[in-house]
Amino acid sequence: MTILKVEALTCEYRVNPLGIDMKKPRISWKIQSDQRGTMQKAYQIQVSAGHDDFTNILWDTGMVRSDESIQIEYGGPDVTPRTRYFYRVKVWDNFDRESSWSSTAWWETGLLGHTEWKAQWITPEPEGIDPLSEPAFLLRKEFKLKTGIASARIYGTGVGLYELFLNGERVGADLLSPGWTSYHHRLQYQTYDVTEQLSEGANVLGTVLGDGWYKGTLSFENKRHVYGDRRTALFQLYVKYDDGSEEIIVTDNTWKASTGPILYSEIYDGETYDARLEKAGWSRSGFDDSDWQETRVQALPFTNLVAQENWPTRVTEVIQPIASFVTPAGDTVLDMGQNMVGRMKFKVNAPKGTRIVLKHAEVLDKDGNTYFGNLGKAKQTIEYTAKGEGTETYAPHFTFQGFRYVKVEGYPGQENGLPLENFLGEVIHSDMEPAGEFECSNPLVNQLQRNIVWGQRGNFLDLPTDCPQRSERLGWTGDAQVFIQTALFNYHGGPFFTKWLRDLKADQLPDGCVPIVIPSVVSGAGSAAWGDAATIIPWTIYQTYGDKRLLAEQYDSMKAWIEYIRRQGKNEYLWDKGFHFGDWLALDAKENSFVGATPKDFIATVFYAYSTRILRDAAEVLGKADEVQEYSALLDKIIEQFDHEFISPSGRLVSPTQTAHVIALIFDIVEGKAKERTAFELNELVMQNDYHLTTGFVGTPYLCLALSKGGYHETAVKLLMKEDYPSWLYQVKKGATTIWEHWDSIKEDGSFWSEQMNSFNHYAYGSIGNWMYRVVAGLDMDAASPAYKRIRIQPKFAGTALSYAKAVYESMYGRIRSSWRLTHEEIEIEVEIPANTMADILLPYANLTNVLEGGQPLDASGDSYSYIETVEGVRLTVGSGSYHFKYPNQRGLRPTFSEETRVIDVLDYQEAVDILEKYAPGVTKPPRIFVTKTQTLKELADFPEAGLSIGEVTALIEELNKIEWELVLVES
């Protein structure tokens, strides 16, 4: 019996989303099939309200002849607030098979507009509790319910941050709610199903309020009360009874207020908690709140309230410390083994009044002491005072830290060593779904990939921050746009960037200028490559997820940004005016400068062209024919003026920097012979620098992509494989577990880059991951078919550097896999393509006559694919399914072995004996010579497989003697 199933149903990217405001939500699904080449030919969706038995069908599409299976917009009657809608899907395929109905999924609407709010914003009466005081507020309301509770939902939010309690238990697992948005324009509310937490009779709803981003200290400019100076809460509880009646409990001035054990809690500085001040049972019925203060209604708007859009922030992993030790300075320190973002949770049995202090640091200095110099004004300090009543457990509430090392003071008995089992590191970030994996035969590169992922986890905490430790932690637009493609390979970023882009649009200035951070809380706006987040990110989201609605929603913002640029300077086709960061932190910068040598107007004009190209393409997708024509003409003029201004008549770029060549190539600004020359000269610039980079934030993300695209993939690989400064693997060799802000955040002598700006968790340079997925592993999309509807599998082997690479990506259609492995004898490529997609595959260096697929010659596999032989190898077009290709390694590709040896394969037998007798007396008759090295000489690639003369071999040995090497003999 054949298999055709519909599975993995999602609504607005989520499985069974609770409390969404989308009036026409979009449905997506994946297809499981045991038949190769499966394509959907038709689908049917049914939506029912109230019950999952589909007796009350609101919308039935009938059989729709279409291969669309993602982002299908609900087309039934208008949805109503606070209603659960059930849906199911069936499909028909190209083999005339009809699936069964999928399992039933659902979405539930939220309040669907500000008029549905019955609650009032409340805060403590200022006469009773100083609204500017540091201790967190406690708010409570006791109420009674009838018997026969059928269901219950809480809709609510707070400013700054809140934690919600019902009958003594925490509501939900979300942290740092409601997140950080452009609060004056948009404030998220959350929905909680609390049916199981309520009971007949007395119940208590309570909340704790902290400053958070709303009124706490923000940015390196040390601002406070950016959005407001009063903590306030807004909650309404709907209870439905079995008899159909309903009851509403809301925040109003009948609530009571107090303070409790959280004496201080700030994003940057940490938390001070005195357990002696805990109010036991404060969120349970029967608690005596007679000495609590009154509350008052606060005049805050309802029109800016939107349902939760982003993935919630949660504890996603728990890490135990790997060691505790005493530093040379005498400090007792925990080592978590990983630079992480989150909080420490600990338990302790201590006398009343015992004060325990935790201070968080990312690294140790060269003497082995904890290093706090890079934190700026951030204290990252937790202070806990014990109540002295047995074992106490504590974790901070309205703060987070970036750290690997924790300096511990005052813990009982710490002079005898800390009990590691009493400490846990709770990793906190937006609870995104993992999407991709990359691995290869080089352990250092695999560690680099882990560092990239950990850097993303640490900095994707409700918004894409630049760093998670110092007094900054802002949503830098430039960092986000250079990392966006790598980010989406690692994690599902649809909800995450949907929320952030809406804030970008909200904070965009009236003239179209884009602030440098989103939400906008610092001065500065309009820089090239930073403001271009307005175009690059929505376009990348569209390409990755087929999200045409978000593209349309952001289109006016994209257009406003281009028109803002267009008004700059005297020439509307060049961007030669205004403030720009340039190639930030590039190594070719002048002494005492953060800005690289590539001219700012060069960079600005290139990004002007790139964003204009994106806007034109977006206009085409959205059917805006007039604007396609307008922005096509604008793009042509920008390229024409760029050519006139920045390219010599002979085709040479005026800026002799790596970054200038990289961005001109990758954004297709140079054409014809100028393009060939630019690629050649980029390769020369890298080779002449001993395969080291000089690029900063602008050039680095595209450097290896530009080299590979320009025909110099071997150079790109050698660049990645460098282990000395400056390189990606230099950081790894220095023990990094996340990505650094500077190539030499830790210098070769163990000292640090300037304290002024030195984050050890800064994801921008992790953008190399995009190239690793797309080029090294070869997993890419056809840009003309968004969301990987048509896939490109085109691995580029890494010379002698790697023996295998693998990438896996969970697309909107399903799992994609591309992996390859080299031995001396054969090449092996494995591919997995999800149903309802197609793929174009290149088998490099293959011939039609010698390729086996699944152990059979190509032409013996039926009609599930077509193929053709080209100068590059065999090209195939395939449908869904798993494919296993093998063919002879006829090009002399030299794979490494697990111990990362670089190989010079079989020399003439007698020559090998002669060499060994000369350099290793007493050892004879080896079958091969292996040269163990950590770097590869360019010349090695040019040696033929055999036939070297004694003179040539001697010359080779002399060359090898200039670097560290050894001969390793392998028995036959």
**Cα–Cα dist 57/77, whole Å:** 11
The rounded distance, in Å, linking the Cα atoms of 455 and 453 is 5
How many other C-beta atoms lie within 10 A of the C-beta of residue 526? Answer: 23
SS3 (DSSP) at 177: strand
Find out whether 880 and 837 touch, Cβ atoms under 8 Å: yes
Cβ-proximal residues to 671 (8 Å cutoff; 6+ apart), any chain? 639
Q: What is the spatial distance between Cα 493 and Cα 490, in angstroms, rounded to a whole number? A: 9
pLDDT reported for residue 627: 98
Burial 722-734 (b: 16+ CB within 10 A, else e): beebbbbbbbbeb
Euclidean distance between CA atoms 905 and 913, whole angstroms: 14
715: which 2 tokens?
């150079």
Question: Residues with Cβ < 8 Å from 903, sequence gap 6 or more?
Answer: 800, 894, 895, 896, 897, 930, 931
Pairwise CA distance, residues 720 & 716, whole Å: 6
Determine whether 480 is exposed, middle or buried from the number of CB atoms within 10 Å of its CB (0-12, 13-18, 19+): buried
Helix axes 443-459, 477-490, angle to 10 degrees: 120
Closest CA relative to residue 705, chosen from 662, 765, 643: 662
For tokens 């090695």, name the residue.
940
**741 given a catalytic annotation:** yes
One-letter identity of residue 395 = A
Q: What pLDDT score does 840 carry?
A: 97
Backbone angles phi, psi at 270, to 5 degrees: 110, -155
Q: What is the distance between the alpha carbons of residues 720 and 703, in angstroms, rounded to a whole number? A: 10
Please compute, for residue 404, the number of CA atoms within 13 A of its CA located in the half-sphere on the CB side: 22
- pLDDT tens-digit readout, 163-177: 999 999 999 999 999
Please answer whether residues 205 and 166 qualify as being in contact, where contact means their C-beta atoms are separated by less than 8 angstroms: yes
β-pairing, 381-385 vs 270-274, is parallel
User: Measured between alpha carbons, how far is residue 367 from residues 118, 327, 406, 725, 755 in Å?
Assistant: 60, 8, 16, 21, 17
pLDDT tens digits, 438-452: 999 999 999 999 999
In single-letter form, the type of residue at position 909 comes to Y
Identify which of 256, 258, 274, 296 has the alpha carbon closest to the alpha carbon of residue 137.
Answer: 258
Q: State both tokens at 326.
A: 């005493």
Residue 862 to residue 926: CA distance in whole angstroms: 46
- Please, which residues bridge with residue 47 across strands? 59, 87
Q: What are the φ/ψ torsions at residue 605 (nearest 5 degrees)? A: -70, -35
- Of 362, 472, 681, 911, catalytic: 472
Q: Is 837 exposed, middle or buried (0-12, 13-18, 19+ CB in 10 A)?
A: buried
State whether residue 178 is helix, strand or coil: coil
Q: What is the DSSP letter of 773?
A: I
C-alpha 727/C-alpha 731 separation (Å) is 7
| Residue closest to 51 by CA, chosen among 94, 87, 13 | 87
Could you confirm whether 630 is annotated as catalytic?
Answer: no
What the block records as the tokens of 525 is 């706006």
pLDDT of the residue at 862: 54
Residues 6 or more apart in contact with residue 467 via CB below 8 angstroms? 402, 459, 473, 741, 759, 761, 762
At 236, give phi and psi (nearest 5°). -140, 130
- Please tell me which residue in 741, 832, 853, 911 is annotated as part of the active site: 741
| Residues 822/803, Cβ–Cβ less than 8 Å | yes
410, 355 contact by CB (below 8 A): yes
Contact call for residues 481 and 610 (beta carbons, < 8 A): no
Q: Which residues contact 227 (CB under 8 A, 6 or more apart)?
A: 159, 183, 184, 213, 214, 215
Q: How is residue 529 annotated by DSSP? A: T
CB 868 within 8 A of CB 858: no
Say if residues 337 and 319 touch (Cβ distance below 8 Å): yes
Spatial distance between the Cα atoms of 321 and 468, rounded to a whole number of angstroms = 20
Longest dimension (CA), the chain: 98
- Give CA 363 to chain center in angstroms: 23
Contact (CB, 8 A) for 892 and 869: no
Structure tokens at 580: 């720009």
- How crowded is residue 365: how many other Cβ atoms within 10 Å of its Cβ? 18
φ and ψ at 818, to 5 degrees?
-135, 120
- In single-letter form, the type of residue at position 664 comes to A
Cα–Cα separations (whole angstroms), residue 901 to 490, 806, 888, 898, 931: 29, 20, 22, 8, 7
Q: To 10 degrees, the CA torsion angle through 164, 454, 266, 417? A: 100
Say if strands 873-878 and 838-844 run parallel, antiparallel, or are unpaired. antiparallel
Check if the beta carbon of residue 276 is closer than 8 Å to that of residue 288: no
Regions of the chain short of the pLDDT cut 70: 1, 860-864, 892-972
pLDDT at residue 918, rounded to an integer? 54
Q: Indicate whether this model's pTM tops 0.85.
A: yes
Q: What are the CA-CA distances from residue 764 to residues 40, 161, 357, 472, 590 (Å)?
A: 39, 28, 33, 16, 21
